Structures are given as structure tokens and as C-alpha cells.
Amino acid sequence: MAESKTVDKYEEQKQALEKIKNGLATGVRILANRDSCPYCKAMEGAYSFEDVPLLPHEECSHPDGCRCFYAPILDRFGP
């Protein structure tokens, strides 16, 4: 069951990343929860589409697993 849950998380995050890539974003940011593990906190930040790591992080040590998520960077667009 845990493996199926991980596969679902990978697929969900993969779809989220594709939506960001196909939208107006110029890059992608990984955001972590306040109580994330040290690895997830270290991976939080902005990435190009070519360099962004896949989520969830396999190296995550939080009891609930990786809860990081992707967010678009929209630095070329504004009001």
C-alpha cells in the first residue's frame, strides 16, 4: 500500500510540473513545509525546467514522507 501511495505522489507531482511547464512559467520553485526534513528544506528553491528534481524526494526522512510541491515562477509577467 505504501508503494502505491508513493507512485500516486510521483504521478501527481509529474502532472503538476507538466502544467507549470505548459503554462506561462519561466521556471519552477520547490516549496517545503515548515516542519519538513533537512533534505527537503535544503532542496527548497528555484530551478530551471531542465534542472528541477523530481518530487517526492526519495531522500526525505519525515515520518509522513515528502510533502514538497512545485510552484510556477512568473517573473516575466505582471499586471
| pLDDT score of 41 more than 70 | yes
Domain for residue 31, yes or no? yes
Residues 6+ apart with CB under 8 A from 14: 54
Residue type, position 42, single letter: A
Domain count, the chain: 1
Higher pLDDT residue, 77 or 22? Answer: 22
Can you tell me the distance from the alpha carbon of 8 to that of 38, in angstroms, rounded to the nearest whole number? 23
Q: Which three cell numbers stand for residue 78?
A: 505582471
Average pLDDT, the chain: 89
| 44 closest CA partner among 4, 52, 17, 16 | 52
- Domain that residue 68 falls in: 2-73
Which pLDDT score is estimated for 39?
Answer: 98
Given a cut of 70, whether residue 4 has pLDDT beyond it is: no
Q: Is residue 79 part of a domain?
A: no
Phi, psi (5° rounding) for residue 12? -60, -45
In a domain, 43, yes or no: yes
Give domain status of residue 48, yes or no: yes
- Residue 78 domain flag: no
